[in-house]
Amino acid sequence: MLNRLKQFTLAAAVALALGATALGGTGAQAAPEDGGTLVVGTTQVPRHFNGAIQSGQATALASTQIFASPLRYDANWTPQPYLAKSWEVAADGLSVTLHLVEGATFHDGQPITSEDVKFSIMTIKKNHPFTTMLAPVTDVETPDPQTAVIKLAHPHPALLLAMSPALMPILPEHVYGQGDIQSNPANLKPVGSGPFMFEEYKQGEYYKLKKNPNFFIKGRPYLDEVIVQIIGDPTSMVLSMRRGDLDLVPYVSAVRDIQMLQKTEGLTVSDKGSDGFGALNWLAFNTKKPPFDNPDVRRAIGYAIDKKFILERLLGGVAQRAYGPIVPSSPLATDQVEHYDLDLAKAKELLDKAGLKPGADGVRLKMTADYIPGFTDQGRNIVEYLRTQLRQVGIEVEVRNSPDFPTWAQRISNYDFDVTEDNVYNWGDPVIGVNRTYLSSNIRKGVIWSNTQQYSNPEVDRILEQAGQEMDPAKRAALYAEFQKIVVDDAPILFLNVTPFNTVYKSNLKNPPLTIWGAASPMDEVYWDKK
């Protein structure tokens, strides 16, 4: 944790100072070559391309190429200039001033001004599903066309990360400011200022992006075009990558797919990058339903599960252990929490303490286990494992299948469950992606990926509120360490593993997207080594 905290402190120091005047910063190699097409494979179908009002990787993959954002981030969590050539955070933390690059234009040739920044930030605040991300923003002042001053109700240390490409695309007000933003035709025919321009979309099959010849970073992008092929079947996508039909596939997480691609000549499989998403796989309890309202029952199940078996056997050694609500790669994570290592005797002792004595058939408790449909390695296989493993402590598990995602989401969000496998993202900063799971104020029936556990702890609410406003990195890390310890002890969730996102690409592709946002980053520095 100490190294990560030093890293985070350094990033914060950079953020509190003037941003560097050099654009980019992800370290392109010498003499990159222009030209060529990049063919990307994905199984996800974007509903549209406007990342200001839609979250998720499907939208972000396209949105971050089409739209530019105030800042971008490297692989070390350090903010870099982008549309904002520099920035300052006020001493009291109540404002952030952005100084925009001169001469930047949208794809239609119109200049980018501070009014567009204001429009975009307030649009995101009103429409984006991550309601906490810009909640403290009260206004954006525009003293001149190149200066935007973001005003805050209280200090908001997550704000700089929220200016990342995947979270804060800058929209042209003259295109998106007319009518209802949710139904604006430009959502499907976007106009941005990013390195690539929208060219064509055949829904459910592919979309094409072409080089922006007037990109505000001189000499970029290097590629002529990016084509994203949408392949519904993951197996077919892996075969296409092995045949050479695809050049890059991000976010590969299935064990067999990773292992197969690692053995394919000419391909590089990297587990670097994508730390910003912070995807955790876990088991979540309905904490208002007896006997799961008793923390001892939840803890007992935690001690009865062999996490080593899950990681090594079910997940083939490709996934990392998760110990708490903040992904281990985050500068704010700690592993100084209860690990719930396998201890069947302790599990039985806690079940006895909870009054769940074994019957004549040895059964203490019957419970239903759900999982996200389509998740085989991290979902179905894990809950099937629970069926046999938990018998050893007298718990009988019924695995309940959902025919599709909406069915699962309806069950879980309406509290019709005992325990479910779930896969939830941190989204870089706890304020953005972690708080939603644990704040009692976010218990919202019918809304998936809110606090569907109905977990409520006033101390956790207090700590999260305080940490969300603490600007000192060391004090903030200490608050989140306390939060993690409490949540792990309360056990509304049992943390299993980090989702093993891997980026697979042809080995002669240079500067692949391996920052904290992976492929949800601008690919202006990507190029082909044609030698």
Measured CA to CA, the distance from residue 491 to residue 349 in angstroms comes to 17
- 371 pLDDT exceeds 60? yes
Q: Residues near 33 by Cβ (< 8 Å), separated by ≥ 6?
A: 222, 527, 528, 529, 530
Tell me what percent of the residues of the chain surpass a pLDDT of 90.
90
Measured CA to CA, the distance from residue 285 to residue 289 in angstroms comes to 9
**How many residues belong to the chain?**
531
State the first-to-last Cα distance of the chain, in angstroms, to the nearest integer. 42
* Band (245; pLDDT cuts 50, 70, 90): very high
Of 225, 260, 224, the residue nearest 240 (C-alpha): 260
Residue type, 475: K
- 38 pLDDT exceeds 70? yes
Q: Is 47 helix (H, G, I), strand (E, B) or coil?
A: coil
Measured CA to CA, the distance from residue 225 to residue 248 in angstroms comes to 14
- 356 pLDDT exceeds 60? yes
* pLDDT tens digits, 86-143: 999 999 999 999 999 999 999 999 999 999 999 999 999 999 999 999 999 999 999 9
- pLDDT score of 2: 38
* pLDDT tens digits, 159-216: 999 999 999 999 999 999 989 999 999 999 999 999 999 999 999 899 999 999 999 9
Radius of gyration from C-alpha coordinates of the chain? 23
- 19 pLDDT exceeds 50? no
- pLDDT score of 273: 86
Residue type, 264: T
Measured CA to CA, the distance from residue 169 to residue 6 in angstroms comes to 29
Other Cβ atoms within 10 Å of 229 Cβ, number: 17
Q: Determine contact, residues 5/73, Cβ cutoff 8 Å.
A: no
Beta strands 95-100 and 147-152: pairing type? antiparallel
CATH topology for 279-498?
Dipeptide-binding Protein; domain 3 (3.10.105)
* Band (16; pLDDT cuts 50, 70, 90): very low
DSSP state of 138: E
* pLDDT tens digits, 442-476: 999 999 999 999 999 999 999 999 999 999 999 99
CA distances from 424 to 283, 421, 466 (A): 11, 10, 23
* pLDDT tens digits, 220-232: 999 999 999 999 8
- pLDDT score of 261: 97
- pLDDT score of 405: 92
* Structure tokens, 503: 């980026």
* pLDDT tens digits, 90-106: 999 999 999 999 999 99
* Structure tokens, 32: 């990159």
Facing residues of 111 across strands?
105
- 5 pLDDT exceeds 90? no
CA distances from 58 to 61, 251, 276, 437, 451 (A): 6, 11, 16, 22, 24
- 26 pLDDT exceeds 60? no
* Band (530; pLDDT cuts 50, 70, 90): confident
CATH topology for 2-273+502-528?
D-Maltodextrin-Binding Protein; domain 2 (3.40.190)
Tell me what percent of the residues of the chain surpass a pLDDT of 70.
94
Measured CA to CA, the distance from residue 113 to residue 144 in angstroms comes to 8
The predicted model gives 7-12 an average pLDDT of: 43
Of 90, 142, 93, the residue nearest 116 (C-alpha): 142
The predicted model gives 286-295 an average pLDDT of: 98
Measured CA to CA, the distance from residue 285 to residue 421 in angstroms comes to 9
Q: Residues near 312 by Cβ (< 8 Å), separated by ≥ 6?
A: none
Q: Is 485 helix (H, G, I), strand (E, B) or coil?
A: helix
Beta strands 419-425 and 365-370: pairing type? parallel
Give the domain ranges of the chain.
Answer: 2-273+502-528, 279-498
Question: What is the sign, positive or negative, of the torsion defined by CA atoms of 81, 86, 90, 94?
Answer: negative
Q: Is 348 helix (H, G, I), strand (E, B) or coil?
A: helix
- Beta strands per DSSP E along 394-485: 395-399, 419-425
- pLDDT score of 266: 97
- 11 pLDDT exceeds 70? no
Tell me what the pLDDT averaged over the chain comes to.
Answer: 93
Residue type, 27: G
Beta strands 84-89 and 79-81: pairing type? unpaired
Q: Residues near 346 by Cβ (< 8 Å), separated by ≥ 6?
A: 300, 303
- Beta strands per DSSP E along 351-418: 365-370, 395-399
- pLDDT score of 30: 57
* Structure tokens, 486: 């409490």
Q: Would residue 110 be called left, alpha or beta, if left means φ above 0 and alpha means ψ between -120 and 50 degrees?
A: beta
